[in-house]
Each structure stands twice: as C-alpha cells, then as structure tokens.
C-alpha cells in the first residue's frame, strides 16, 4: 500500500506499477484521514519510507511510536529521528530499498527488536523537549537575555 497525496510522484508510481504489471497488487490509497492512518499502522507488517528530502520525518516517528518496524532513508533528519530503532537505506537505490523490505519481512528477530526499540526511541520526541530545544536555540542566537513572555511565566521550560 502506498499512502500519500495524489500528485506527480504518485502518478509516476502508478505508471511504473502498470508497466511492471503490478497495478492490481499495489493499493494507492491517496490521502488518508487520521483515523484511517491509525488503522493502517495497526495492520502494517512494516513501514518503508524512502523519502529523499524530509523536513522532520513525522511518519517514521508515528510508525515507531506504534511499534511498527520501520525502514527509512539514510538522509537527515530521518537518521536523527530513527537512530538505531529503524533500518536505514539509500533512497536512490531500488536494490537497497528492496533489501531493507526483505529484511523486515524475513527476519522475525529484527522485527521484534524494532517493535521494542521504536516506541522507546519515539518517546524521546515530546512537545516539551521540542519547546526546550527551541528556546535553547533562540537563547544561543539572541543571547541569554531572552525570557519567556509573561503569559508563559507559570510554565517552566528549562529542566529543574
């Protein structure tokens, strides 16, 4: 199954699937609702994310948080998100992508390790940690004089 918005890339993938006589074996789901996405994660054997350019890697994080084994591109920021809780591959190499998928589907011990490692890794990514890191970055850029607005004064972002 391929989920994601319809566009040039999905049209190209549909054409390739048709040329390879795979059109009936690939489900092009298009954009899916949040509810449907949760169903897909629950039923997934694995998630393969061959993105070449990524802003953060939320699909990788979402899958790992749900204990779904992941293989993803060896490109930043996916490498930082995945850590050692996912298989990494070169997204420009069909052979590397196929190898990662084969490893995920063929190795029970690997899948079990990633099912455990994924949620542990994903737990490190919280909104509180994001806010703290953002504030530290702003302070480094603007100097230590940066303070929180008055309305935020009751909530502490720095660790105690």
Do residues 134 and 60 share a domain? no
CATH number for the domain that contains residue 88: 3.40.50.2000
Strand order in the sheet with 47-49: 47-49, 70-73, 87-89
In a domain, 23, yes or no: no
In a domain, 112, yes or no: yes
Do residues 50 and 118 share a domain? yes
Check if the beta carbon of residue 72 is closer than 8 Å to that of residue 51.
Answer: yes
pLDDT at 79 over 90: yes
At residue 49, what are phi and psi to the nearest 5 degrees?
A: -125, 90
Work out the percent of the chain whose per-residue pLDDT is above 70.
Answer: 89
- Give the closest residue to 70 by CA, choosing from 96, 94, 44, 93: 44
Do residues 152 and 112 share a domain? no
pLDDT at 86 over 90: yes
The confidence score (pLDDT) of residue 137 equals 86
Residue 112: C-alpha distances to residues 39, 66, 69, 78, 102 (Å): 20, 13, 8, 21, 15
- Mean of pLDDT values over 101-107: 97
Do residues 77 and 93 share a domain? yes
Do residues 135 and 120 share a domain? no
In a domain, 6, yes or no: no
Q: Give residue 149's domain range.
A: 126-160
pLDDT at 134 over 60: yes
Do residues 95 and 147 share a domain? no
Of residues 84 and 54, more confidence is placed in 84
In a domain, 105, yes or no: yes
């Amino acid at each position: 199954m391929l989920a994601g918005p319809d566009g040039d890339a999905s049209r190209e993938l549909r054409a390739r699937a048709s040329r390879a006589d795979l059109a009936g074996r690939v489900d092009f789901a298009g954009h899916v609702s949040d509810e449907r996405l949760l169903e897909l994660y629950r039923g997934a054997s694995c998630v393969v994310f061959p993105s070449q350019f990524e802003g953060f890697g939320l699909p990788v994080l979402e899958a790992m948080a749900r204990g779904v084994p992941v293989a993803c591109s060896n490109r930043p920021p996916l490498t930082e998100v995945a850590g050692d809780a996912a298989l990494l591959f070169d997204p420009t190499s069909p052979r590397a992508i196929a190898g990662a998928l084969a490893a995920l589907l063929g190795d029970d011990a690997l899948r079990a390790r990633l099912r455990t490692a994924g949620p542990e890794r994903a737990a490190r990514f919280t909104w509180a940690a994001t806010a703290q890191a953002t504030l530290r970055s702003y302070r480094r850029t603007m100097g230590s004089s940066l303070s929180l607005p008055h309305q935020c004064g009751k909530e502490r972002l720095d660790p105690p």
